[in-house]
Amino acid sequence: MKPQHVQELRAFNRFYTNIIGLLDRHILNSNYSLPEVRILYELYHRSALTASDIIALFDIDKGYLSRILKKFEKSKLINKINSPSDKRASVIQLSPKGKKEFEILNRASDKQIEKFLKNLPDKDCDELIKKINEAQKLLKKGLGHE
């Protein structure tokens, strides 16, 4: 690996995080941070997760996750149910309100990406997606996750 490789990948990261607004305190003009939206995403796409599952998925600090989940509970976005397999754990699921809130965020995210791609011809979009997939494959290989 050349030092230039590190610098170029970091430059791309800065470029991309800037255009999608990751440095904003709240994502997609919402009341949620990036970690909060990612947790909502996982809860929407998985039937039941425990706090331990979320910690493992994101390598997130337990205290930070606890504050996020308390915020979600207070906003009635999630329900906690006693785990049938482990009485010490709770299964976390999105409430109907939480599902609706996620769907609003998801549509906003789709519109944001559509805005980036709207001036590119389909051929260029196809090429971009192909290169993104190649980059993901190489990064996974670099992490040992082939």
What average pLDDT score do residues 73-99 get? 92
Q: Residue 15's pLDDT is what? A: 92
Which residues contact residue 20 at a Cβ distance below 8 angstroms, ignoring those fewer than 6 apart? Answer: 112
Is domain 3-116 classified as CATH 3.40.50.11030?
no
Express each pLDDT in 46-60 by its tens digit: 988 999 999 999 999
CB contact at 8 A, 135 and 127: no
Domain ranges of the chain: 3-116
* pLDDT, tens digit (0-9, with 9 covering 90-100), for 89-124: 899 999 999 999 999 999 999 999 999 999 999 999
- pTM for this prediction: 0.87
